[in-house]
A and B are shown apart, each in its own frame.
Chain A
């Protein structure tokens, strides 16, 4: 099923827009754009570099694999008494992941162990492409898995203004080929108000006319330019040109680009531009050396994990504050191209591994520890070296697609994936829920909500 594009929608509304010539486009003109405030939102966090999951969720003393973990990790092994308990499980969380621990205890976090792909690759670039294109063992797809979801989901509205964003400078491969997607790392610079004084609005209008007059699909530059001029306009109109944003519930995002980008996603969700999918990256996980010191508890990796963990806590707090229901219709998943080798190297680092781990966070999730643990005995390891994969990453995403995003077209989103068996992580959407909107940061309310 082909969705009406933003551009198609604009053309369809041309009479309404023409009627407002000279004025800033008011969102009343797009009343239907956010006429579906109960829609589900997906946020995908990709940890670039392959994260060392064995030091995120670690076997505790008493677990039969603790001995293998301690033997292979003389410097990096986390002391048992430093681990944050995960209920009665024989695994514990890294001490710097206090945000994840709170979310887990509140039942808002699911951890799926030993996830990944069965592809025989330890290449970052192959593995990332396979995962984000949704086509393990092939990099030839011209669309990403999220692109295909957006193209096939029947639950999405006919018209979407701002359906997808990559929070950052570049667009994710999972959104490859989706021309409606917007990459964005800042509201204050997401406009052309710079340079010579005067003529800003006239310049914007001319650029909109130039790109708007193009025929979609004839040139990649024209398509991209169209998306850019439209997105600048919507964001500008919705924010009134102000980049100020106050998170709800006292949420404190970590400093740095990850925290800023996560905050930007929350801001865009609350602007009610119709955001349905957002992607965000956190890099720095390729820890071949000096991963940590003080028995794995201090240094680069612990700091990076704290950034992730604090960011997720802040995002959840922000969305669940102010009596809104954003937390109940937003699901955040965390993935990485692979895990790292069980045996540490001689530089307090770890080399590329195989099995990884996924996280899912949301207000309606069945929190807990999921996935079949494959064991750390040498015979149980992949290639006798790495954590094995027992859960295809597409299993987790497919359940999310079906239960939350109401898209059953798995064969199109993940073409070679078969035999889907859900794990019971995501509760089905309950259409009876009344998602009253209590907090709204938008300048213009859609007419339907006025």
Chain B
């Protein structure tokens, strides 16, 4: 299918130095061990540089954990974190242990909201989704209801679930295995992909997730493998399997004979176009049982191995032969094994995880130690849990701040959480519809990035003017949004009535939303906004029922929006 390739905003892959190095190796044809190449600053130097750039006092470890392992604190989250131990390290380790074992977390408050949400399609099996929403050919709204429910459930979980790390990682893996899901044949089965392919494997094994992705109708359609056949190979999936899903562009040596790629421990150090073409042949015949052009029988939406479309002759992928005349699926499985278990994949995935969780330029030693775990535990059923645990319990995770900015999804959800909003996102609900419509103006509609590389993770991409303006518009809309006069965020009701002056009101909300001491000038601007021309210490009739009380309450709401728009609330 023609996904609209949009601009790739990610700045540069730090792996390119390695890749350039590989290419030079390729030219020289030399055998050499890796490990020393790095263009990055030492982590210590990097941290101090980052700390000097922030616009408020350094955050507590609680704030780091809640913002980068989740979508920011709700009321009470910081206190709960502080109660986890006697020092920062103990508290962080205890919190990580909770979050990587989500089944141990009491999430009953969220479960009650989920019951209110009352989804109709999210627990349906793949074949049931296929039957009800594709084969039955219902009208558009019902056909796409599974997509809408996943989208809104994702907001609901990010806003209310205590299993915050699950949500961060679900977002990570959805973007890693990006699919543009708002599509005629993909939207109807989206709960299957979200639940069985992504969420079920977040703390599991990478090869398992990779295999399920490869056999999902969503990916088979999105990257065209559903039509990949011996008579007319389509390399779209195979190319992105190498470049985006496993080894990464940092291990791409371009157009070069396969035999010229140097070996490390007997394995080619990277891949070339020849590997992509040979892998394409291995995946010929992997299609969808959709009774469309592609399959003669059945209509289940499951993967369908079509032997007469398969290229039966021998192939050569990543330095090994794939014998002729294997059964259809064996060839593709062999490719998935080789890419999933390649050392380049372990570095690429470790780098991406560190970049998501820590900084755009994560320290190379941490990437390498995480990659070692990824590789050494490649057959373990909790491989990804071990890798994530290692990163989150590192000193680097605990001591960095401000190298990432919140992307629109994180920014908007964290604002809702900070305001202790009780808006329960549901389908068929007009406040939710209005929220989603407004959110849709930001640059990060969930599951709707057209190109296969997923939404950018680099902060530069999200610091565009339009992106910031749309974020700011969203929170300004939100502080005033109400349904039948019940505000989505009860800003007035949460303000203690003994607070009277602009200074008191500003300080209360700064502390409540930012949790740190602000730059004095910024604090003064916020106070000045609340005071206007009435003096910072003059009592204001914010709680007066009659006029001009309502006018002051709106001023208070806009002041809260202003606090959410300052640099400190964008950092993470």
Partner-B contacts on A (CB < 8 A): 46, 48-50, 119-126, 128-129, 133, 137-142, 166, 168-173, 176, 181-185, 189-192, 194-199, 202-203, 206-207, 209-211, 213-214, 218-225, 227-228, 231-232, 281, 283-291, 300, 345-347, 349, 351-352, 383
Chain B hits for A189, CB < 8 A: 441, 469-470, 473
B459 contacts A125, CB within 8 Å?
Answer: no
Kindly identify which residue among B16, B459, B468, B567 contacts A139, using a CB–CB cutoff of 8 Å: B16
Asked whether A185 and B466 contact (CB < 8 A) given A203-B561, A290-B2, the answer is yes
CB atoms of A346 and B229 under 8 A apart = yes
Residue B47 lies at the interface, judged by CB distance under 8 Å to chain A: no
Counting chain B CB atoms within 10 Å of each CB, which of A128, A168, A209, A346 scores highest? Answer: A346
List, in ascending order, chain A residues with CB within 8 A of B224's CB. Answer: 288-289, 347, 349
A-B contact pairs, 23 of them (CB 8 A): A120-B254, A121-B252, A123-B239, A138-B16, A140-B14, A171-B464, A172-B7, A173-B11, A181-B465, A189-B441, A195-B476, A195-B479, A195-B480, A207-B562, A222-B567, A223-B463, A228-B468, A231-B465, A284-B4, A284-B5, A288-B234, A346-B233, A351-B236
Known contacts A123-B243, A137-B20, A210-B522; decide if A183 and B466 are in contact (CB<8 Å).
yes
Find out whether the CB atom of B477 lies under 8 angstroms from the CB atom of A289.
Answer: no
CA distance A288 to B441 in the complex (A): 30
Residue tally, chain B, CB below 8 Å to A: 86
Chain A nearest CB: distance from B468 CB in Å? Answer: 5
In the complex, which residues of chain B have a beta carbon less than 8 angstroms from the beta carbon of A173?
A: 7-9, 11
A386–B443 Cα distance when bound, in Å, is 35
Smallest CB gap from A121: residue in B: B254
By a CB distance below 8 angstroms, the chain B residues around A345 are 232-234
Please determine whether A286 and B5 come into contact, CB atoms closer than 8 angstroms: yes
Residues from 238 to 254 in B contacting A, C-beta threshold 8 Å: 239, 243, 249, 252, 254
Residue of A with least CB distance to B250: A139
Pairwise interchain contact B5-A119, C-beta atoms closer than 8 A: no
List of A residues within 8 angstroms of B205 by Cβ:
none
Residues of chain B within 8 A of A138, CB atoms compared: 16, 20
- Chain B positions within 8 Å of A137 at CB level: 20
Given the known interface contacts A126-B252, A219-B55, A349-B234, the answer about A281 and B466 at a Cβ–Cβ threshold of 8 Å is: no
Q: Is the CB of B570 within 8 A of A221?
A: yes
Q: Shortest CB–CB separation between residue B23 and chain A, in angstroms?
A: 8
Whether the pair A119, B254 counts as a contact (CB closer than 8 A) is yes
Listed residue (A142, A210, A351) with the most chain B CB atoms within 10 angstroms of its CB: A210
Closest chain B CB from A266 CB (angstroms):
18
**Cross-chain contact of A122 among B8, B273, B561 (Cβ < 8 A):** B273
Contact A194 B464 (CB under 8 A): no
Closest 6 interchain pairs by CB?
A346-B232, A120-B254, A283-B4, A196-B480, A224-B463, A49-B5
- Alpha-carbon gap, A349 to B2, bound state (A): 9
Interface centre among A176, A195, A206, A223 (most CB of B within 10 A): A195
Residues of A within 8 A of B256 (CB): 120
B13 to chain A, nearest CB (A): 6
Question: Which chain B positions have C-beta within 8 A of A140?
Answer: 12, 14, 16-17, 39
**In whole angstroms, how far apart are the Cα atoms of A202 and B533 in the complex?**
11
- Residues in chain B within 8 A of chain A (CB atoms): 1-14, 16-17, 20, 39, 52-55, 223-224, 227, 229, 231-236, 239, 243, 249, 252, 254-256, 273, 402, 405, 441, 443, 450-451, 453, 456, 459-461, 463-470, 472-473, 476-481, 521-522, 525-526, 528-529, 532, 551, 554-555, 557-558, 561-562, 565-567, 570-571
How many CB-defined contacts (below 8 Å) exist between A and B? 256
Q: Please state if B467 and A49 are interface contacts (CB–CB under 8 Å).
A: no
Q: Name the A residues within 8 Å of B566 (CB-CB).
A: 210
A183 touches B2 (CB 8 A): no
Nearest residue in B to A126 (C-beta to C-beta)? B249
A283: which B residues are within 8 A, CB to CB?
A: 4-6, 450-451
Q: Give the distance in Å from the alpha carbon of A7 to the alpha carbon of B376 in the complex.
A: 52
Whole-angstrom distance between the Cβ of A128 and the nearest chain B Cβ:
5
* Known contacts A122-B239, A195-B558; A228 and B12 CB within 8 A of each other: no
The answer on a CB contact under 8 Å between A169 and B8 is: no
CB neighbours of B6 from chain A (8 A) = 48, 170, 281, 283
Q: How close is A311's CB to chain B, nearest CB, in angstroms?
A: 16
Query: Which of B443, B562, B567 has a CB less than 8 Å from the CB of A214?
Result: B567
Q: How far is the CB of A341 from chain B (nearest CB, A)?
A: 9
A346 touches B525 (CB 8 A): no
Q: Are A206 and B55 in contact, CB atoms less than 8 angstroms apart?
A: no
CA A213 to CA B464, docked complex, whole Å: 20
Contact of B465 among A184, A284, A288, A289 (CB under 8 A): A184
- The CA of A139 and the CA of B13, in the complex, are separated in Å by 7
Q: Residue B525 contacts which of A126, A133, A192, A206 (CB distance < 8 angstroms)? A: A206
Inter-chain CA distance A203–B560, complex, in Å, is 11
A184 nearest CB neighbor, chain B only: B466
Measured CA separation A222–B6 after assembly (Å): 26
Whole-angstrom CA separation of A287 from B2 in the bound complex: 5
Question: What residues of A have a CB within 8 angstroms of the CB of B461 in the complex?
Answer: 170-171
In the complex, the answer to whether A202 meets B532 with C-beta atoms within 8 Å is yes
Across-interface contacts of A352 in B (CB, < 8 A): 235, 239
* Neighbour of B562 across the interface among A182, A203, A222, CB < 8 A: A203
B161 CB to closest chain A CB (Å) equals: 27
Q: Which of B402, B469, B558 contacts A232 (CB 8 A)?
A: B469
Cβ-defined contact, B528 with A206, below 8 A: yes
Contact indicator A124/B5 (Cβ below 8 Å): yes
Are the C-beta atoms of A192 and B249 separated by less than 8 Å?
no
Residues in chain A near residue B20, CB distance under 8 A: 137-138
* Closest chain B residue, CB of each to CB of A47: B5
* CB–CB B464/A122 < 8 A: no
Docked-complex contact A224 and B465, CB < 8 angstroms: yes
Q: How far is the CB of B344 from chain A (nearest CB, A)?
A: 15
In chain B, what residue has the closest Cβ to A179? B463
Shortest Cβ gap from A352 to chain B (Å): 7
Q: Which of B465, B532, B557 has the most CB of A within 10 A?
A: B465
B55 — which chain A residues lie within 8 A by C-beta?
Answer: 214, 219, 221-222
CB pair A192–B472 under 8 Å, yes or no, is yes
Q: Are B252 and A171 in contact (CB under 8 A)?
A: no
Chain B residues contacting A300 (CB-CB under 8 Å) are: 2
Q: Which of B249, B555, B561, B571 contacts A125 (CB 8 A)?
A: B249
Contact A219:B402 (CB < 8 A) given known A185-B466, A194-B473: yes
Given contacts A140-B12, A192-B472, A228-B465, 7 further A-B contacts (CB under 8 A): A169-B443, A206-B529, A221-B570, A228-B469, A281-B7, A288-B235, A352-B235
Partner of A190, one of B11, B13, B469: B469
From B479, which residue of chain A is reached at the shortest CB distance? A195
CB distance from A146 to the nearest CB of B (A): 13
Q: Is the CB of B11 within 8 A of A221?
A: no
Contacts of A225 in B (CB 8 A): 468, 567
Q: How far is the CB of A280 from chain B (nearest CB, A)?
A: 10
Q: What's the nearest-Cβ distance from chain A to residue B209, in Å?
A: 22
Name the contact of B477 in the complex, choosing from A121, A128, A195 (C-beta under 8 A).
Answer: A195
Cβ of A199 and Cβ of B466 under 8 Å apart?
A: no
Tell me the minimal C-beta distance from A323 to chain B in angstroms.
32
Note all chain A residues with C-beta closer than 8 A to B54: 219
Judging by beta carbons under 8 Å apart, are B234 and A141 in contact? no
Cβ-defined partner of A49 (8 Å) among B4, B14, B39: B4
- Docked Cα-Cα span, A46 to B561, in Å, equals 36
Query: What's the least CB distance linking B345 to chain A, in Å?
Result: 16
Partner of B236, one of A125, A194, A195, A288: A288
Residues B464 and A170 in contact, CB atoms below 8 Å apart: yes
A169-B466, A183-B465, A207-B562 known; A289-B234 Cβ under 8 A: yes
A232 to B469: give the CA distance in the assembly, Å. Answer: 8
For residue B236, which residues in chain A have a CB less than 8 angstroms away from its CB? Answer: 286, 288-289, 351
Contact in complex: B239, A199 (CB < 8 Å)? no
Q: B464 touching A123 by the CB < 8 A rule?
A: no
Expressed in whole angstroms, the minimum distance between the Cβ of A77 and any Cβ of chain B is 15
A199 CB contact (under 8 Å) in B13, B249, B459, B554: B554
Measured between alpha carbons, how far is A422 from B18 in the docked complex, in Å? 35
Contact A289 B2, beta carbon cutoff 8 Å: yes
